[in-house]
Chain A
Amino acid sequence: MERVIGIDLGTTNSCVAVMEGDAPVVIPSRGGYKTTPSIVAVTEAGKRLVGHIAKRQAITNAENTVYAAKRLIGRKWNSPQVKNAIMTSSYTIVEGPHGDVRIKLRDKTYSVPEVSSIVLQEMKIVAEDYLGETVTKAVVTVPAYFNDNQRQATKDAGAIAGLDVIRIINEPTAASLAYGFGKELDRTVAVYDLGGGTFDISVLEIGAHGVFKVISTTGDTFLGGEDFDARIIDWLVESFREEHDLDLRQDRMALQRLRDAAEKAKCELSTVKESEINLPFIISTGRNEALHLQRSLSRETLEKLCEDLVERTVDICRQALDDAKLDVDEIEDVILVGGMTRMPAIQRAVTDYFQREPNKGVHPDEVVALGAAIQGAALVEDKHEMILLDVTPHALGIMTFGSYFEELIPQNTTVPTSHTKVFTTSRDNQTAVKILVMQGESKKADENELLGEFILTGLRRAPKGHVEIEVTFELNTDGIVSVHAKDLETGQEQSIQVTASSGLTPDEIQSMMSSAQDYLVERRTDEDFEKARQEAETMLAEIERLFPDVERIVGTADFGRDAIVKARSIVERTQQAIDRKDTALLKEQIEQLARTERMFRGVVART
């Protein structure tokens, strides 16, 4: 059976895992890294870079390097989150053709799923190199608090990368799977997941028969490690402005350096009390005078800068327990997920709130990918006894007259589920009704996310309020919402599968898929050529080294001259193949080169 990989597509880092026998393992990249930065860049030469290499060149190529694309995925152009990102990003964000968001890199604009697909494709390649086989199926994780549009966009990203995303699961839930899988536990746990860009808290029950039941989940998709970094950046920018009266934000390169330095300092301060931030030649003044930034940041200062952020996560924890109708003392273990949970202030806050030391048994950066791999295996293989009962993180409903939001499926409902409500018409002789399917918690429709819409026609002509329309919402385990509307009198009915919108049309996805495929072929060819070139050049060097001796020994004989001419032409053709990047021709020449090399060695050895 084909293996299913689990991918944690993070805001700042991504990680891939697979089930090996009965245990999941994280797959390291060729460079030996277990996580890959979720960073994509395009170089001046138009070359695409992903991961560590993209991160390393980020400073010099700040405008063409995308980080934290996850914060934009599935968002609409006019959303406040996007407005905020435009202000703080060093890359250029533009409006897409469907009110969606696009990112401009060099001369090309990319959709956000496309950018994410580049990261996913990288993870796919890492897995394929490790497994030695093609991988096409994956379980991908998303923050629990993601709405359906964001989930769909993530699925689309998978499709573009050539992956069939068989299931999207929530990050905290995935973490709990890795924590409790195969251990026959019977307890209630909380998962505190503070990642690079999002915060999630889930309360789960782990019970007999490998059942993991989520009781409640809540979070904030705009609260994460990046916000902590931003506080440090603000602090640095502010002090620099006081000192030099210069705004570092105006310089994108400086901003990128500040970002890196802030992240580095934050991480260091998890283990040490004081961190030096040293950025020489950060900016030059109008008089061409270079300025340096040098500051020392203490853990205490950092904690003060971020105090309210930590407090916000605790408030959200409180909300999650309220939703679960549980008291703090009913939580039997707390699992910390995400790199941010290494911060001592956060560990303290969690310990204080839950009145217990958090669990230290899971790796905060890897646990989510491991859980995704477990879910993937459990779905396709019969041998694993594990069932994940997840909940819908947002209420689902329709817009009713006066732009009100009428809820049909409440928040934290275990899926699969279905709910029905009867509505009536709002105008006399109304013959059609538009059903707007929405998601969110606000009573006002326009504050919620629009998932889709359809029109039920052929209603009986009658005074308003006289035609009854029964609306049924169905939510299956794949997270797909089906909405069914029926005129109770005429029996006229209409239903749709609400495909949440990632902001891309199927055609667009298709064309992005094929260009991703092209890229992959190109990249594979590049790799092949590179390999052949190295091999050929090694032999060429050896042949060149032996040439004078061979000429001296056999140059006088006729057969020798022929052989030398032949060897010369082989070398020449090889050089041409290299220059033309002709992998096929190069491979042909390699055989002949090998023969020539053997012959040359033989001649020299005989004398």
Chain B
Amino acid sequence: MSGGVKTDVNRQAEPRLPQLVEGVDVRTLPIGPHEAFVLSRVDGRSSDGEIAMVTGLEPGFVVETLARLQQLGAVHYAAPSTTERPAPERSSAPPGGRLSRPAVEAPRRAASDPAHPAAALYDPSELDEVVDLDLPRKRAVLDHYYRLDSFNHYELLGIALDADKKAIKDAYFAAVSVFHPDRYFGKNLGAFKPKLERVFQRLTQAHDVLTRSKSRAEYDQYLAAQRRTRNLEQALADERASARELDEVRRRIEEAARVTDRASHRPPTPTPSGMALDPNERRRALARKLAGGTIPPGARRSAPPTSTRDPVVQEMVADDLKRRYEQSVTRARDDQVTRYIEAADLAQKEGNVVSAANALRVAVTLRPDDEELKARLEQTQERANQELAETYRDQAQYEERSGRFAEAALSYERAARGKPTAQLFERAAFCLQAANGDLRKAGELGKRAVTMAPKAAEPRVTLAKVYVKAGMKESALLEFERAAQLAPDDDSIKDWIKRLKRGEV
């Protein structure tokens, strides 16, 4: 019942119903298992919130995923009363007619074409521009252009992750023979020309990166790091969910202790990996055991299983019941703790430190006095942070080398969060100022680096550069001078000081 009410609420708040775009080959989409799972629940009748409920995933994540799927052209939202775009001219319609309500939403011409999964990403009227290109070519250009940002180099060239150099070149040459502007020399390409050039440029970038073994190895590492941070972040998001999980576990323990059979009720419970047994089955078994097999299924606590009226006996029975209840609570809790420790062991064995830490955290909360367990959690947590930090550092280094300073600054900062070292803070500050990002924040990062390594020149130089960018000449000069003392042979520092003093900077 409550579910029904909730649905209604959701419907009022978010009346959007995601629908599947027909004819989309899901296998061609650049998505992961989570997105595919969400996509599999889209039935045209469930709202975003309902999908979140049936998948057991965070509502925010579901909304994000659906937005991405929409962007990819796999999902669209049935338009409510107003369409996003007025339908192409219908001069015969009465003036007010369009405003009232369109009879039926016509299926999007391009979106239903299985060969063009990105069709929903652009306004189909772009295809109407009169240029010297045929429709398939126009589509090919737009399909590539509008997916450039979501594609990695492999996806863009349409090749496997283990494609050899020859395959990369062949794919590139084939693409070039379609997307090089010279193919259309002297032809009117209109708005397609810059798009064509942009696609060509990205293809070339992909080719250049993937055909050089060193840059390819770096890119592969970057992709792997990106995948890992994404997975780890996902796991950390589970940490946020662990509060929920804890409540759930507590409820379960209580339930088990109350010796009630609620086999008919099945709460959906996310379980840490490694818990293979069906929790309902376990719970039922536990319940039977605690009940000594005497209580018939269907018995309720509102109908206590006693008929004697003797107060002493009643008290004894009550004490006994209380004792037995407490005992069973302890046992149920121990049971859960053991299960979570088992899960942590397994996760650790699989190298999934983050999951292990999450499982241990639940266990520690259930048994707060266990110092040994606490120590293990701390240790694991530390390792998880370090692992994440290292992955972020790898990612950041690649981003920095590619000149994507804003992204690099963020990744360095995340790395520094898990593994606070002067160098990581320094790089974060450096990249942030290089990206012309938030200079106040860059200053703070730089200061932390300086505090952590007061004898190193580099953090001071970086901090000074931040000051220069912020127009704080005096502070910059001070830092440069300190840096010059620490690294007296560095001419570039001297040059900075000279230029600052002359007012050239």
Contacts and interface: CB of A to CB of B under 8 A. Distances in A.
A295 interface: no
A426 interface: yes
Contacts of B470: 465
A310 B204 CA distance: 35
A477 B181 contact: yes
Interface in B185-232: 185-186, 197-198, 200-201, 204, 208, 212
Given A416-B197, A464-B471, A401 B504 contact: yes
A388 interface: yes
- Identify which of B174, B182, B505 gathers the most chain A CB atoms within 10 Å of its CB: B182
Contacts of A428: 471
B83 interface: no
B471 A465 contact: yes
Interface string B493-505: 0000001000011
Contacts of B499: 402
Contacts of B182: 378-379, 387-388, 477
Contact of B173 (A208, A325, A414, A465): A208
B504 A402 contact: yes
Contacts of B177: 209-211, 385, 387
Given A402-B499, A416-B181, A211 B436 contact: no
A463 B505 contact: no
Contacts of A417: 201, 204
B471 A414 contact: no
B471 A476 contact: no
Contacts of A422: 436
B169 interface: yes
B374 interface: no
B469 interface: yes
Interface size class on chain B is 20 to 34
Looking at chain B's contact residues, is the secondary structure mostly helix, strand, loop, or mixed?
helix
B185 A387 contact: no
B26 to A, nearest CB: 30
B85 interface: no
B212 A325 contact: yes
B176 A209 contact: yes
Interface string A455-477: 00000000111101000000011
Contacts of B246: none
A389 B176 contact: yes
A210 B178 CA distance: 12
Interface string B336-378: 0000000000000000000000000000000000000000000
Nearest to A375: B182
Given A379-B186, A416-B201, A211 B173 contact: yes
A499 interface: no
Contact of B468 (A166, A211, A414, A465): A465
B314 to A, nearest CB: 80
Interface string B286-299: 00000000000000
B279 to A, nearest CB: 54
A272 interface: no
Nearest to A379: B185
Interface string A553-574: 0000000000000000000000
B183 interface: yes
A32 to B, nearest CB: 34
Contacts of B436: 422, 424, 468
Contacts of B212: 325
Contacts of B197: 416, 418, 476
A16 B208 CA distance: 35
A208 B174 contact: yes
Contact of B170 (A208, A325, A463): A208
Contacts of B201: 416-418
B262 interface: no
B11 interface: no
Given A380-B185, A418-B198, 4 more contacts: A210-B177, A414-B208, A424-B469, A463-B471
6 contacts: A210-B177, A211-B177, A213-B173, A418-B197, A424-B469, A464-B471
Nearest first, the 3 A-B pairs at minimum CB distance are: A209-B177, A463-B471, A379-B185
